[in-house]
Copies of this chain bind each other. A is one copy, B any other.
Amino acid sequence: MINKLVEKIRKTGAPVVVGLDPMLGYIPEHIQKAAFEQYGETLEGAAEAVWQFNKGIVDAVWDLIPAVKPQIAMYEQFGIPGLEAYKKTVDYCHSRDLVVIGDVKRGDIGSTSAAYAAGHLGKVQVGGSRLSAFGVDFATVNPYLGSDGVKPFMDVCREEKKGLFILVKTSNPSSGEFQDRLTDGRPLYEWVGEQTARWGEELMGEEYSYVGAVVGATYPEMGKALRRIMPRTFILVPGYGAQGGKGADLVHFFNEDGLGAIVNSSRGIIAAWKQEKYAGFGPENYADASRKAVEDMIEDISGALKER
């Protein structure tokens, strides 16, 4: 799957992933209204609004980008109906040949991580059948429990040719509270990065490893250091746009080959219609606003990469 991701980035020229993190506040009134008329102001109604909203955006942007990243929390908050909308979104993106990164940030003791890995990336054994539950292509994984929380995910990746992004340095303001703590003069995130590179060596694709890393756009200097520590690790970079990252800040997350990183934007794309810059589209044409925002983002990042 890492090979497919690299190939699709080359083909689209877009090291960009659209975060499908649909808060109800991002969804235009007319979509919410239609969903609530059908299902009431219920979890089912919210899930239907989310699904219709996502479908519009995917239809508008799928040809520009290699991948999407649904954040499962935004679906999980609506319970079972929300998770049905998550699954429908994953399947629909697959029908558009998009790589799907499930932003699930799971991680637990070995036997439990194995269950998460089976459910999200692999297959689960039920009697004589092997069944897929969510079936995404990559999952994000929290490393706090160490190797035996990560290895079960790697086992499934090996079998299914799926991939991971390990949280190394997250984009949020307080990420330094524990991640920046110094041990022997080096911050924890560097140790996690080094371990991620080591895990990655066990599971190499053609150019990059199936084991990637998450490093926030909001910490460009740390991204530069981590790029060196993890040369064959693909970096998923959240925090572009709404959280503050800009294309020029991101060049050092990439290798000289112009690869090695994929930048996520969620709110900046899916809620583009609410920004002054794209307000001309109007809520009815929210998906066209998203398409324009994707085009602008690709130009910003490609431009910065060319100039470096």
Which A residues have a C-beta under 8 Å from some C-beta of B? 21, 23-24, 32, 36, 41-43, 45-46, 71, 73-74, 76-80, 82-84, 87, 105-113, 115-116, 118-120, 124-129, 131, 133-134, 142-149, 167, 170-179, 181-183, 188, 191-192, 195, 238
Contact = CB atoms under 8 A, between A and B. Distances in A.
A133 B188 contact: no
15 contacts: A36-B127, A41-B127, A42-B131, A45-B126, A45-B127, A73-B106, A73-B112, A109-B171, A142-B142, A144-B179, A146-B176, A147-B174, A177-B195, A178-B191, A181-B181
Contacts of A142: 105, 107, 142, 144
A178 B120 CA distance: 25
A127 B33 CA distance: 9
A174 B148 contact: yes
A82 B126 CA distance: 12
B149 A178 contact: no
B116 A146 contact: no
Please give the count of copies of this chain that the complex contains: 2
A42 B132 CA distance: 10
B183 A181 contact: yes
B77 A80 contact: no
A82 B133 contact: yes
B24 A126 contact: yes
B79 A43 contact: no
A172 B110 contact: yes
Contacts of A106: 73, 105
A120 B83 CA distance: 13
Given A80-B83, A84-B80, A134-B79, A188 B177 contact: no
Contact of A126 (B41, B83, B113): B41
Contact of A77 (B45, B119, B238): B119
Contacts of A127: 32, 36, 41, 45
Nearest to A183: B181
The 8 A-B residue pairs whose C-beta atoms are closest, nearest first, are: A79-B133, A146-B177, A146-B174, A41-B127, A77-B119, A109-B172, A73-B115, A148-B174
A170 B109 contact: yes
A109 B242 CA distance: 13
Contacts of A83: 80, 83
Contact of A143 (B108, B178, B183): B178
A46 to B, nearest CB: 4
B112 A74 contact: yes
